[in-house]
Amino acid sequence: MDEEFISSMKKWSDEILESYHRSLDMLRENADAHSLAEWKDQLDQFQSELKEADSLDYTDLYVRANEIHRQFEQYFAVGTENEMLRAQTYSSSVPIGEHSLPPLPYPYDALEPFINQEIMRLHHDKHHKGYVDGLNKAEKEMQKARMTNQFDLLKHWEREAAFHGAGHYLHTIFWNNMSPKGGGQPSGMLLNEINQSFGSFEKFKQHFSAAANNVEAVGWAVLVWSPRSRRLEILQAEKHQNLSQWDVVPLLVLDVWEHAYYLQYKNDRKKYVENWWKIVNWRDVENRFHEAQKLKWQPF
């Protein structure tokens, strides 16, 4: 089991336990006592099993952590006062210029043979880290401009924030959109919506693959939920931020920058895209769709 992954899981579970103890009185008011006790037992069991990580399956760990996270969030979902407390104790905003690189949800070699370890290390530790650093610098420079009332370079830093910020957020989705136990096709409401929006899963897959294969130069293929049209759409993004749309929520993203595949596939982007479908984490996409679908604007 990857030590860095286990370390990140331990840190996360300690943080959520701290939030639990800090908010216990409020939680007891909002949550059924039996349900809350069961949740605490799940967290205790999770932390106990992390001590014997060598015998565990990292994908199962990640899925269970997401479920613990989801249940905990639900306890904060009642009333404005509780939403404020939730924001203060659990979902506080990222301070200006203090974005951080999220850990991979699996070891570097977990996606082999479809994406090899060398690519994953380079892609995550160097390229994604570079976007995080670039976003932080841009935010701090714009903060400095506001403080000094010197906006001469604002156009440059706005561009930097758009490029690096989009790169950071898309990669954060991308890592979770993949799983060593991925592949196949989605189920339930997401599959129904795909059939409704594209005619069938196969037609969707063909359309998405063609979008990825035909991104000019470097960029992304992106499946989005549109709260305005109330259906799924497939978009391309050049670099990270060009040719995109506002008012949509990304669900499934595929990185077709050369650093995502060239060391293994050389210039055969088509083969990379074909193999990528074998590691798509449909559970993550379904979870994102479930949350995104709550957004429904007036259609025009």
Residue ranges of domains in the chain, CATH in brackets: 3-89 (no CATH), 117-176 (1.10.287.990), 188-292 (3.55.40.20)
Better-scored residue on pLDDT, 53 or 116: 116
Residues 213, 269 contacting (CB under 8 angstroms)? yes
Q: What is the mean pLDDT of residues 232-243?
A: 86
Per-residue burial over 71-88, b if 16 or more Cβ lie within 10 Å, else e, is: bbeebbeeeeebeebbee
Cα 65 to Cα 8: distance, rounded to the nearest angstrom: 11
Cα 180 to Cα 298: distance, rounded to the nearest angstrom: 39
Question: What is the per-residue pLDDT for 51?
Answer: 79
What tokens were used for 225? 């939920």
Better-scored residue on pLDDT, 26 or 266: 266
Q: What is the mean pLDDT of residues 97-106?
A: 92
> Which of these ranges, 107-116, 188-197, 233-242, has the smallest mean pLDDT?
233-242
Cα 133 to Cα 211: distance, rounded to the nearest angstrom: 29
Cα 147 to Cα 150: distance, rounded to the nearest angstrom: 8
Query: pTM of the predicted model, to two decimals?
Result: 0.71
Cα 202 to Cα 208: distance, rounded to the nearest angstrom: 10
Provide the sign of the torsion angle of the four alpha carbons 185, 189, 190, 195, taken in this order. Answer: positive
pLDDT at 170 over 70: yes
pLDDT at 1 over 70: no
Cα 122 to Cα 162: distance, rounded to the nearest angstrom: 22
Kindly report, residue by residue over 247-264, the tens digit of the pLDDT: 789 999 999 999 999 999
Q: What is the mean pLDDT of residues 116-134?
A: 96
